[in-house]
Chain A
Amino acid sequence: MSSDKRFLIVDDFSTMRRIVRNLLKEIGFHNAEEAEDGAVALSMLKATKYDFVVSDINMPNMNGFELLKKIREEQDLKDLPVLMVTAEAKKEDIVLAAQNGASGYIVKPFTKATLEEKVQKILQKTAA
């Protein structure tokens, strides 16, 4: 499957951004850009149209929760799918992400199959 959907990968670790980007490519999403924290991501989101955000939580400047909150507050961005991919495995974090409007939540380390399943599920839900 190949798609022209535009992804934004947000993570302060370049290794992780690269891994997610490569995985998305393998899954069929070749159009992806990267941001190293929530603040950079937000400015990119305001400047360009993206179809999907894959975001870490624990980041400097603006963390994933703050980014998620900002996205949901912005009229133009509030419906944007946001998948949280993070090492934060505490239940309260997962609940908080859901309460703040996250479209999905993946705990690191994860597999290609998990990422693919979540992305496809979110896209289907968004399209419906």
Chain B
Amino acid sequence: MDDLNTFALMADAATEAASHIAPRRGRKPRQKKSEDASDAHAANGTAVVDDMALTPTAIDPAGASNATAHAPTSEDTVAQTVNEEVFANESANEPTPSDAGHPGEDIHQRIGHLTRTLHDALRELGYDKDLAATREHLPDARDRLSYIARVTGEAADKVLNAVDRARVVQESLTNKADGLRKRWQAVAAYTAGAEDRATPAGRSLIDDTCGFFSDIGGQADATNSILTDIMMAQDFHDLTGQVIRKVVTLATNLEEQLLKLLLQTTPPEQLKKAEVSLEGPVVNADGRTDVVTDQSQVDDLLASLGF
């Protein structure tokens, strides 16, 4: 199993864990804990944010039983809660004389509180699940974009092949026309001598035919110009391909960031559970009864279960 699948399963675990976490009402006690954490890590702002996101109080087993009762009813309610918290935090973090010498500490605390509030809001709105779902869909979106790039590239190649073939046909036609033009000009010269050897209708036909073959060269040039336009239009593949490549890179980065976010919001016990269940290939099956070593064992196991 590759890392990506491993990550996907861990993300599943994160989602599952999130579904067991109840929205919380009583903010004040945890806010105090967050402040404590911030104080302890004020020296490194980012660490403070991360630590706060992973604070054990993010899981509220006591509130789990009230999950249904506390389920968010509307985004407005949650938004209001967020606003109240943000402003409450701002108010709580008003600079005091003792803070005056450490302005960075206050900023770190504010960032920490904001992160905590956003983190809670995500959960209360159920957006953590959306994040997990989004992360799961990103590889699919990436594959689809790559598919578009590949198919459009093939289409562009087909057009270029067709243009090349058309040019060959066009060139052959032009050469033949040029040969016939010369022969018809000889006929015209012969019939236009002192003794007029052509009837009026024949003369008209000879003149029209000579004119037609003379025009072929110009028409071939026009056709070639059109073929060039068709060929040049295929540069869309290069242009769109570059954009698609950038979007695919963006999707990959986004996926990685979402994964990190999910892992950060996953309770440690759930992470361990996910890690244990993702051992990958069995390196040494000796003495183990909890693994299979070949496909026949898989088939037997499934048969014993009625599949």
Contact = CB atoms under 8 A, between A and B. Distances in A.
A37 interface: no
Interface in A16-75: 16, 18-19, 22-23, 26, 58
Interface stretch (B132-140, B172-180, B226-234, B287-295): B226-234
A19 B231 contact: yes
Interface string B157-200: 10010011000000000000000000000000000000000000
Interface residues of B, number: 18
Given A19-B232, A26-B228, A108 B237 contact: no
Interface string A69-104: 000000000000000000100000000000000000
Given A13-B241, A18-B160, A109 B153 contact: no
Given A58-B242, A108-B239, A15 B228 contact: no
A126 interface: no
B202 to A, nearest CB: 40
A98 B75 CA distance: 54
B180 to A, nearest CB: 25
B232 A15 contact: no
A14 interface: yes
Interface centre among A11, A18, A19, A26 (most CB of B within 10 A): A19
B131 interface: no
B235 interface: yes
A120 interface: no
Interface residues of A, number: 16
Nearest to B155: A15
A11 B239 CA distance: 12
Contacts of A108: 235, 238-239
A19 B241 contact: no
Nearest to B239: A87
Contacts of B235: 15-16, 19, 108-109
A16 B239 CA distance: 9
A13 B234 CA distance: 11
B156 interface: yes
Given A109-B232, A112-B232, A15 B239 contact: no
A59 B238 CA distance: 11
Contacts of B153: 13-15
Contacts of A19: 160, 231-232, 234-235
A111 B239 contact: no
Contact of A15 (B156, B164, B224): B156
A87 B242 contact: yes
Nearest to A17: B238
A15 B237 contact: yes
Given A15-B156, A18-B160, A112 B242 contact: no
A104 B238 CA distance: 20
Interface in B83-120: none
Contacts of A11: 238
A23 B160 CA distance: 12
Contacts of B164: 22
A87 B238 contact: yes
Interface in B199-245: 224, 228, 231-232, 234-239, 241-242
6 contacts: A19-B235, A22-B163, A23-B232, A26-B224, A108-B235, A109-B235
Given A14-B157, A15-B157, 7 more contacts: A11-B238, A13-B237, A15-B235, A16-B237, A19-B235, A22-B160, A58-B242
